[in-house]
């Protein structure tokens, strides 16, 4: 891939507009906190992934993560990683995402080593090894065979993605992380808690039930439409929405989770509700008020939901063990504000 999948995760685009230029390590590695480890706790465990099987002989004490969502899952399961990827999209000056910062503060833990990345999404093997991890968890990532081999040759256990790079369902990221840490029972509890939050929001908002939705992003002169397989759309469906028929009917087959739509065809994107992402309110408003934006059938009726701001966008693209709960109230509030009776 020529651009990081992290970039594509948010804008679903091969444009450098949103490419993450990450650099530097923020702090010295801090050991994982295993004092309150509970659950299955039986080792060794064997985790299957795209490069084979990884046997983890004992509970890891120094856990590093790569890609998206694994650091969140580790924290949700009561551990503190020694190293995590830096995220400048949605992160603070050190690349720490707000929900991760809150989890670290709650545990009284120091910021882990922040691993640098570039727009290719290449794993920084040297920086990773300097953190001296026992295990590297990368279930939602683009880790390559070469990177995997370099880490394992150095004696590090590595858990890669199950089948396809950057395509692991967010719930599976939590399950795989729990399996690798001997905490499958706790992972099930985390998922049950998140599902209960979603169910409560759906019950509180029966007006969402059955409304068709199209989720989009206009960026860099290109209009992106998200397919039902994208986690953003899956989350909306969990809340009661259904993906609009037009979304799949107009699919150009460019990707498993998105496609680009020409501006001339925007009038064909029929749905009860349009949900549009953007870095800023001004960016979204400028597009919707343009001649192109006015072609969207939902704009004249005002049935447009705006999800703007880097943290808000990142929290659902895709959601994680921490981010979904962190951003859910604001997300639902935006849905309420954008739907006209």
Position 4 confidence tier, pLDDT thresholds 50, 70, 90: very low
Same domain, 133 and 244: no
Distances (CA, A) of 315 to 137, 214, 263: 20, 18, 28
Distance CA 338, CA 335 (A): 5
Q: Which among 122, 125, 124, 103 has a CA at the least distance from the CA of 112?
A: 103
- The stretch 200-226 carries a mean pLDDT of 97
Same domain, 180 and 217: no
Same domain, 210 and 119: no
Q: Which of 196, 215, 243 is the last residue of a domain?
A: 196
Position 210 confidence tier, pLDDT thresholds 50, 70, 90: very high
Q: Which of 196, 224, 239 is the last residue of a domain?
A: 196
Same domain, 215 and 131: no
Q: How many residues does the chain have?
A: 341
What is the CB neighbour count within 10 angstroms for residue 167? 15
Same domain, 280 and 140: no
Distance CA 69, CA 84 (A): 10
Kindly give the pairing relationship between strand 304-308 and strand 273-278: parallel
Q: List the alpha helices (DSSP H) in the chain.
A: 5-11, 70-76, 98-107, 125-130, 145-153, 170-180, 184-204, 231-238, 245-249, 281-288, 298-301, 310-314, 323-338
Please, which residues bridge with residue 281 across strands?
none
Contact 80, 30 (CB under 8 A): yes
The tokens describing 100, both together, are 């991760």
Write the CATH number for 70.
3.40.50.1980
Write the DSSP string, 262-308.
Answer: -GGGGGG---SEEEEEESSHHHHHHHHTSTTGGGSTHHHHT-EEEEE
Whether pLDDT at 203 is above 70: yes
Q: Which of 142, 171, 196 is the last residue of a domain?
A: 196
SS3 88: coil
Split into its structural domains, the chain has a count of: 2
- Host domain of residue 92: 5-196
Same domain, 232 and 324: yes
Same domain, 168 and 26: yes
Top-confidence residue, 250 or 35: 250
Q: Provide the pLDDT for residue 40.
A: 65
Q: Which among 331, 322, 329, 338 has a CA at the least distance from the CA of 78?
A: 322
Angle CA 219–224–230, to nearest 5: 125
Same domain, 13 and 71: yes
Whether pLDDT at 23 is above 90: no
Same domain, 154 and 11: yes
Same domain, 238 and 186: no
H or E element in which residue 83 lies:
strand 83-85
Same domain, 25 and 119: yes
Q: What's the pLDDT tens digit per position in 234-248?
A: 999 999 999 999 999
SS3 87: coil
Same domain, 149 and 173: yes
Q: What's the pLDDT tens digit per position in 271-317?
A: 999 999 999 999 999 999 999 999 999 999 999 999 999 999 999 98
Phi, psi of 60 (to 5 degrees): -65, 140
């Amino acid at each position: 891939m020529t651009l990081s999948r992290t970039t594509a995760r948010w804008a679903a685009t091969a444009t450098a507009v949103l490419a993450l230029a990450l650099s530097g390590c923020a702090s010295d590695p801090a050991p994982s906190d295993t004092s309150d480890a509970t659950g299955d706790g039986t080792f060794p465990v064997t985790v299957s992934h795209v490069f084979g099987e990884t046997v983890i002989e004992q509970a890891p004490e120094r856990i590093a993560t790569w890609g998206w969502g694994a650091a969140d899952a580790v924290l949700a399961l009561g551990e503190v990683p020694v190293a995590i990827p830096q995220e400048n999209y949605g992160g603070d000056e050190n690349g720490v995402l707000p929900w991760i910062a809150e989890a670290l503060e709650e545990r009284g833990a120091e910021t882990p080593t922040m691993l640098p990345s570039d727009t290719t999404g290449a794993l920084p093997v040297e920086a990773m090894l300097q953190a001296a991890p026992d295990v590297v968890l990368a279930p939602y990532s683009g880790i390559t065979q070469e990177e995997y081999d370099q880490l394992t040759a150095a004696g590090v256990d590595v858990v890669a993605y199950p089948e396809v790079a950057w395509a692991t369902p967010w719930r599976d990221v939590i399950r795989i992380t729990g399996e690798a840490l001997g905490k499958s029972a706790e992972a099930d509890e985390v998922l049950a808690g998140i599902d209960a939050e979603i169910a409560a929001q759906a019950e509180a908002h029966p007006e969402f039930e059955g409304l068709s939705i199209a989720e989009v992003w206009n960026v860099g002169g290109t209009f992106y439409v998200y397919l039902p397989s994208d986690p953003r759309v899956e989350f909306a469906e969990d809340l009661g929405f259904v993906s609009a028929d037009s979304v799949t009917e107009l699919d150009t087959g460019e990707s498993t989770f998105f496609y680009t739509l020409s501006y001339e065809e925007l009038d064909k994107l029929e749905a009860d509700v349009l949900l549009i992402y953007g870095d800023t309110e001004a960016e979204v408003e400028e597009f919707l008020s343009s001649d192109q934006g006015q072609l969207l059938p939902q704009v004249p009726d005002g049935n447009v939901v705006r999800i703007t701001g880097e943290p808000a966008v990142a929290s659902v693209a895709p959601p994680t063990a921490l981010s979904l709960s962190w951003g859910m109230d604001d997300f639902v509030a935006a849905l309420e504000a954008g739907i006209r009776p």
